[in-house]
Amino acid sequence: MNKIILLDSNSLVNRAFYAMPYMSTKDGTPTNAVYGFATMLLRLIADHKPTHIAAVFDLPAPTFRHLMYDNYKATRKPMPDDLAVQMPILRQLLEAMNIKILQLEGYEADDIIGTIAKRFDDETIIVSGDRDVLQLIDSTTKIFNTKRGVTDIRVYDLERLREEGFTPKQVIEYKALAGDASDNIPGAKGVGDKTATGLLAQYGSVDGVYENIDQIKGKLRERLIEGKENVYISQKLAEINTDVPLPCELDCMEFTGEYAANFYGLLTKLEFKSLLSKFSYLEDIADNTPKEKQPLKIEGVEIKSIEVLEKILAESHTAIAVDIGESISFAFDDKRQYSVTTGESLIDFGIGFDEAILAFKGVFSSPNIKKVLFDVKSLMRTLTPYGIDVVMPYEDLLLKSYLVDSTNIPKSLGDILPEGKFLASESFLANKELDQKLKSLELDGLYREIELPLIKVLFDMESAGFNIDTAVLDELSEKYVVEIHTLESAIYETAGETFNINSPKQLEKILFEKLGLRHGKKTKTGYSVAADVLEELEHPIIRLILRYRKLVKLQSTYINGMRAVIHPSTGKVHTIFKQCLTATGRLSSTEPNLQNIPIRTEEGREVRKMFIPNKGNILISADYSQIELRLLAHFSGDTVLTNAYRNNKDIHTITAAKIFDTPEHQVTKDMRRDAKAVNFGIIYGISAFGLSNNIGITPYQAKLFQDKYFETYPAVKEYMAANVSLALQNGYIRTLKGRIRHFPEFRSKNHNIRNFGERAAMNMPLQGSASDIIKIAMLKVDKALKEGGYKTKLILQVHDELILDAPKEEAADVKKLLINAMENAVILNVPLPVDAKLGANWYEAE
């Protein structure tokens, strides 16, 4: 698939101008905005390797929105002179990079970006400092929203947007209600951020608000009625036009990475020395470009014969840094780097890649040589087919960088060492610097005692894999296919014709035109047929369509998808655990994602039947009971919460009794279910509106529930407020084992983003500490299994759950071992009970 990057250039250069300190050339030409823009662009190209790029600009001429509303953007200040003079320079730089510039009179950059994003069915990244473009998010389009300057970026996809309480369409609806002072979009007078967000949470859309206007009381109702015309005008102004008559096909935006001959000369003229140094490894730099001196005096030595390579590696060394990519380089210190000339065929010189890799076997397997590496676990996967083990001692620069700042994780060694020429040699210096940072942040223990030893445990789990029963896989597949076909026939019969059920356009015509069902406002792409929209409709066809979609999802993702990743030689799936990804320290799983196997529906749970142990074995599953709520009791010291857990009382029943003002013995299942949502919602900082949606009550009632909760557990409120205060004061907050989560969200001017940061600060010590605990448990279980000589393998971790594949004769002993290791991973002020089950498959072991 192609990868398109679309740059909202006016927005980005404006942010760069205000974010960067003043810079100018010797002749006084301002350059700070161009420098910031170029730095961001070069980083995007390096990280994402786009096949197509377009820089989209606004033109000074009026657009269709100005014709629609005279005061549109009337309050915008003119561009500062120091920025205006940089605009032609920026265009000159983009042209020298052979990047397509797009603009069209009568339309804004957002409209052009939206048109391109919807025109091509390719992976698209929109980079912008404005949130308007969030309405363009779909299954192939992400938004890189620049927050502070142009390098601090938050990535938005459909899931991320949902976390903030919006669908793409609701980005438009929000602006219609709340307005936008920067664009002079009026909205409804007196309706601000919180009110607009609340209205959308309750009524879904602008139309939904006015259809239910009689339910809204007081001044808010008056303001909405009075401002109705402005709201609908604002809705039109806020909606991006995705059907601009722009003469641009995919080929016109192709990006090859080949810059014009004047590119390097232009960088020199602009005196961008640091940018020039990033290209110092290129051999085709223009003759008039001065070569930058390396800040370090490192000698580069090329090795062209296997005999020389083997001789050098056989010498006595105490440490080595190795970088293996398309080529191989290594160093024994920060003074000299060796580069291995490799190739698949030997013409007149060079070493075969496989031959070169095998020469390192003694180095990687030596317990007497410290290996300085980047992403050790990935390297283990690379070397395993060669029969090479990477044994301790080793240092992982990726892991260290992640622990120092989990919001800015390097993707490659080059991200840590931006010079890009002597990666192996410079790794020694980077390792020392990161060690100093770990110690200064008091993270050295977390790294040495938990994260570093966990690498091998995770690698062993990946290698062990999880068996798949293909007979069950086929049985489920056949079952779903039969029901899908039955549902298709029922849907066609109900609709009175056949059509493509998976086509939103065709489904839209059936539902809203032929059957006349209620729909939302029509947009350029048509009426929405998303699940949340359909669930509000009443018609026999709706139930059939929703069931059909659920089964198609199961069939495509968990049946066909799982079949595609079964290893042909082992018959297993070998997931990859991402240790350096989440801000809380939680592990994630990919290729396939085994942490996302459905469990809340019977059909979803059935999928787990295909996951089985090795022949003659049994699965053992163990998980912590309410670990985050128990951690809340531990950290907050709340007496009621602590005593409840110490006395083994049901915390959800206690909460239900308080919020419903009823004796505990009269608490019903429904009451307990709602109280459970309150208990878990509180620790995630859920709003009253969010809680009301989750349990189907009014926001007012949800607010009363929250108030009752904090009356019951007063120390919890104090603890959460203290977390936010500490995070605001320090910029970070810690877990039980000292893990740090930084909060760049607090620097955002966007109220919603700052609110998200505060909610994250409330929960991070809980979720992050739960991550610490399960990792400690994994280390204890792995050690106990090895010391006991057991054949049992730890094969999966799903957040608070561990799964082991055990010979039946070991199962009883291993179950005890597992429970003991997990329950005693740490000592809290409350018990940390573990529930363990045995099963012939994952379904039975749940």
pLDDT per residue as tens digits for the range 71-127: 787 767 778 888 888 999 999 999 989 999 999 888 899 999 999 999 888 899 999
Question: ∠ CA 271-32-285 to the nearest 5 degrees?
Answer: 35
Q: Tell me the average pLDDT across 475-492.
A: 93
Which residue has 């005096």 as its token pair? 297
- What pLDDT is attached to residue 296? 54
Interacting residues of 177 by C-beta distance below 8 A, sequence separation 6+: 187, 188, 191, 195, 196, 199, 200, 206, 209, 231, 234
Determine whether 103 is exposed, middle or buried from the number of CB atoms within 10 Å of its CB (0-12, 13-18, 19+).
middle
CATH class in words for 3-253: alpha beta
Q: Is the peptide bond before 21 cis (omega within 30 degrees of 0)?
A: no
Give residue 149's region: left, alpha or beta (phi > 0; psi -120 to 50).
left
For 150, the 3-state DSSP assignment is: coil
Short-list 687, 551, 553, 783, CA closest to 194: 687
- What pLDDT is attached to residue 421? 66
pLDDT band at 342 (very low <50, low <70, confident <90, very high): low
Lowest pLDDT segment from 190-199, 205-214, 419-428: 419-428
Q: Tell me the average pLDDT across 288-303.
A: 60
- What pLDDT is attached to residue 290? 40
Say what the pTM is: 0.66
- What pLDDT is attached to residue 40? 86
Q: Given a cut of 50, is residue 286 above it in pLDDT?
A: no
Q: What is the pLDDT of residues 742-757, one digit of tens each?
A: 988 888 777 878 888 8
Q: Given a cut of 80, is residue 725 above it in pLDDT?
A: yes
Q: What is the CATH number of domain 299-430?
A: 3.30.420.10
CATH superfamily of 628-767: 5' to 3' exonuclease, C-terminal subdomain (1.10.150.20)
Q: Given a cut of 50, is residue 336 above it in pLDDT?
A: yes
Token duo for residue 682: 């509180």
Q: What is the pLDDT of residues 148-185, one digit of tens each?
A: 555 567 889 999 888 888 899 999 999 999 888 778 88
Residue with the bigger pLDDT between 657 and 25: it is: 657
Cα separation, 159 vs 177, whole angstroms:
23
- What pLDDT is attached to residue 722? 94
Q: What is the CATH number of domain 468-569?
A: 1.20.1060.10
Interacting residues of 792 by C-beta distance below 8 A, sequence separation 6+: 620, 785, 804, 805, 806, 807, 810, 814
Q: How far is CA 374 from CA 379, 416, 587, in A?
A: 8, 10, 18
Residue with the bigger pLDDT between 422 and 620: it is: 620
Q: Given a cut of 80, is residue 297 above it in pLDDT?
A: no
Q: Tell me the average pLDDT across 680-706.
A: 86
Lowest pLDDT segment from 87-96, 245-254, 454-463, 822-831: 245-254
Residue with the bigger pLDDT between 460 and 151: it is: 460
The boundaries of every CATH 3.30.420.10 domain in the chain are 299-430
Cα separation, 44 vs 689, whole angstroms:
37
DSSP string, 610-647: GEE-STTEEEEEEEESSHHHHHHHHHH--HHHHHHHHT
Which residue has 């059935």 as its token pair? 606
Q: Tell me the average pLDDT across 442-451.
A: 97
Token duo for residue 274: 């640091």
pLDDT band at 521 (very low <50, low <70, confident <90, very high): low
Interacting residues of 128 by C-beta distance below 8 A, sequence separation 6+: 7, 8, 11, 12, 110, 113, 143, 144, 145, 146
Q: Given a cut of 80, is residue 283 above it in pLDDT?
A: no
Secondary structure, 3-state, 788-834? CCCCCEEEEEECCEEEEEEEHHHHHHHHHHHHHHHHCCCCCCCCCCE
For 481, the 3-state DSSP assignment is: helix
The boundaries of every CATH 3.40.50.1010 domain in the chain are 3-253
The neighbouring-strand residues paired with 328 are 324, 340
Q: Given a cut of 80, is residue 664 above it in pLDDT?
A: yes
Q: What is the mean pLDDT of the chain?
A: 88
Confirm if 257 and 50 have CB atoms less than 8 A apart: no
The neighbouring-strand residues paired with 123 are 3
- What pLDDT is attached to residue 278? 56
Token duo for residue 331: 């160093």
Q: Given a cut of 90, is residue 540 above it in pLDDT?
A: yes
Interacting residues of 478 by C-beta distance below 8 A, sequence separation 6+: none
Q: Given a cut of 90, is residue 561 above it in pLDDT?
A: no
Alpha-carbon radius of gyration of the chain: 30
Which residue has 């291995």 as its token pair? 340
- Burial 184-214, CB ≥16 within 10 A → b, else e: bbbbbeebeeebbbbbbbbbbbbbbbeeeee
Strand 801-807 with 834-839, pairing: unpaired
Q: What is the pLDDT of residues 23-52, one digit of tens each?
A: 888 777 888 899 889 888 888 888 888 999
Cα separation, 803 vs 788, whole angstroms:
18
**What secondary structure letter does DSSP report for 392?**
S
For 359, the 3-state DSSP assignment is: helix
Cα separation, 424 vs 328, whole angstroms:
9
Query: Residue 87 phi/psi, 5° resolution?
Result: -60, -50
Q: Given a cut of 60, is residue 280 above it in pLDDT?
A: no
- What pLDDT is attached to residue 164? 84
Question: ∠ CA 272-278-282 to the nearest 5 degrees?
Answer: 115
Interacting residues of 415 by C-beta distance below 8 A, sequence separation 6+: none
Q: What is the pLDDT of residues 595-631, one digit of tens each?
A: 988 887 788 788 999 999 999 999 999 999 999 999 9
The boundaries of every CATH 1.20.1060.10 domain in the chain are 468-569
Q: Given a cut of 70, is residue 295 above it in pLDDT?
A: no
